[in-house]
Amino acid sequence: MNLQQIVNELALQVRSGRSALNREVRRGYASDLMSDVIAHGQEGDLWVTLHGHQNVVAVAAMKELAAVVLVNGREPEPDTLAKAGEQGLPLLVSELPAFELIGRLHRLGLRGIAG
């Protein structure tokens, strides 16, 4: 499944990286701990978090994640948007809380483990 399909199905708002919405998403990953994502995130993951600060972009770029989704209608900070734009990283926003968004991603067929 690619990012554009996920954006369309879940009415996500695209804040940066619109040109990269053709990226394939391999699996989902949810965490608010940067160290956890560094340790366990994998290339092509869609990362669900509530953090909108610049470190999110650094971690996502380092791990070659497909995109980051901010939940609860949280908006990325201005410096985060600028950095994501430089990196070509899609930053997406959902009005949904994390639990609900993850459930909907799962219903779409996105899984958190390979298989």
Closest alpha carbon to 40 in 21, 65, 20, 23: 65
Section 10-16 average pLDDT: 98
- CA dihedral for 111, 43, 63, 95, sign (positive or negative): negative
CA-atom Rg of the chain in angstroms: 12
Nearest 5°: the CA angle 68, 64, 45 is 50
Q: Return the pLDDT at 113.
A: 74
Q: What is the pLDDT of residues 66-110, one digit of tens each?
A: 999 999 999 999 999 999 999 999 999 999 999 999 999 999 999
CATH 3.40.1390.20 fits 3-107, yes or no: yes
Closest alpha carbon to 11 in 103, 100, 95, 99: 95
Domain range summary for the chain, segments of one domain joined by +:
3-107
Could you tell me if 67 and 13 are in contact, meaning their C-beta atoms sit under 8 angstroms apart?
no
